[in-house]
Structure 1
Amino acid sequence: MSSSDPHSGVRGRTRRAILSAAAAVLARDRTATLADIARAADVGRSTLHRYFADRDDLLRAVVADSIAAIDTAISDAAPEQGPPAEAVRRLVTGMVDVGDRVLFLFSDAHLVEELYPGSIDGPDQPVVDLIRRGQDEGVFLSGVPAEWLETAIWALVYTGCEGADRGVLPRHGVAQTVVHLLENGLHVRPPATD
């Protein structure tokens, strides 16, 4: 990157800090003020306004940045590589690692869609392809549309991140818990008989 790139250096770090803080704050409180977000980003409100003219400008940027962060997490998980079960573990870990972004995007999908049309519609093809590969290899549940299973994975990741946020799950154990539930379901043992 050149030094004139607005996303590099101090300017880039400040912008990323604001976007990260905004995703975290707005995931938990959609009514949070710009002052709340500036405080969470450890910048002044005037600094925040140098980067984002108004709340709508910031929201659009947070949506775009969150989508990019999730896309990067999916790509970095390399879902097309290795055995499907291992790829799903990497995928879930990557999704949980960007949990604030998942919480932000999916806690109010209507607002996100209004600000950034088409941003969260449709399946994530690499995830669907991984599920289909696992189904073809007999590793994942067959007879169920891969798109539905993808939605179930997203729902479990979201619920795991939300559980950690509420203190129901330990933050460091979310990915492991989600993977365990995916791999084992609600494995209920029949009651013991005498």
Structure 2
Amino acid sequence: MYQMRHQCLMTQKTETMILEAAFALFAVKPTATLAEVAKRADVGRATLHRLFKGRDDLMAALAHRAMAELDQAVDQATKDAATYTDGLRLTLKAMIPLAERQLFLANEPVDHMPSVAKELAQQRVELTDLVEAAKHEGSFDNAVPTAWIVQSFEALTYAAWTMVCEGEATPKQASALAWRTLTIGVKGDVK
């Protein structure tokens, strides 16, 4: 019994090492091979292929891991939000430190995988509902289509991740800039 449990824990540890190595490697080299991932994870290619049958399996695992981590971070950050608007702001703030995960989801063609596409679509529905609720609170002009606000939120999130990845802003600075731009734009005071 102990040996089976130990083996299971070792497999989970190895899988985590491979996924972390893949996130880091694909962030700088999206065309990296599985052999390069195995080398970066310090495991043999046979070990990688025992856990992931091919590139699509690895990509699906990375996408599911990224979405789960993002969901967990957002759920934790927004659990005490007083308003939907505050929840949307806290969502943005929680996502920015996970830039590597979001950049992977934004840059890798994983939406052709049914389980990933379903989860991405669900996340889009949740974001749309949150924006719609914030509109009802008066945070956004009702004349602006919800779809535009959602697209803007996603584009600004991507811009914030890029700033963090390039070392041009901290996650806190980038999320504050993205929120400011989403809610009031980039224009200064007009006299």
* Deviation of the 1:75 alpha carbon: 3.0
* Deviation of the 1:129 alpha carbon: 2.2
TM-score scaled by structure 2?
0.78
Instruction: Answer yes or no: is 1:129 the counterpart of 2:119.
Output: no
Give me the CA root mean square deviation.
3.0
Q: Is the 8 A contact 2:97 2:171 kept in 1?
A: no
Number of the residue aligned with 1:155:
155
Q: Distance in 2 between matches of 1:4 and 1:152?
A: 49
Instruction: Answer yes or no: is 1:114 the counterpart of 2:88.
Output: no
* Deviation of the 1:185 alpha carbon: 1.3
Q: Is the 8 A contact 2:99 2:164 kept in 1?
A: no
Instruction: Answer yes or no: is 1:179 the counterpart of 2:187.
Output: no
Identical pairs, percent: 28
Number of the residue aligned with 1:13:
13
Give CA-to-partner distance per residue, 1:156-184, whole Å, 9 cap, x none: 11111122212333355322332232233
TM-score scaled by structure 1?
0.77
Q: Distance in 1 between matches of 2:69 and 2:34?
A: 22
Q: Is the 8 A contact 2:110 2:117 kept in 1?
A: no
* Deviation of the 1:81 alpha carbon: 4.0
* Deviation of the 1:42 alpha carbon: 4.3
Query: Structure 1 pair 130/114, CA: closer, same or farther in 2 (3 Å)?
Result: closer
Alignment of 1:6-85 (within 5 A): 9-78=9-78, 81-85=81-85
Q: Distance in 1 between matches of 2:50 and 2:147?
A: 41
Number of the residue aligned with 1:164:
164
* Deviation of the 1:149 alpha carbon: 1.1
- Consecutive unaligned residues of structure 1, counting only runs of 5 or more, are none
Q: Distance in 2 between matches of 1:144 and 1:5?
A: 55
Q: Distance in 1 between matches of 2:160 and 2:20?
A: 19
Instruction: Answer yes or no: is 1:97 the counterpart of 2:97.
Output: yes
Residues matched between the structures, number = 186
The structure that is helix-richer by fraction is 2
Q: Is the 8 A contact 1:79 1:126 kept in 2?
A: no
The one-letter code sitting in structure 1 at the alignment partner of 2:92 is V
Q: Is the 8 A contact 2:96 2:171 kept in 1?
A: no
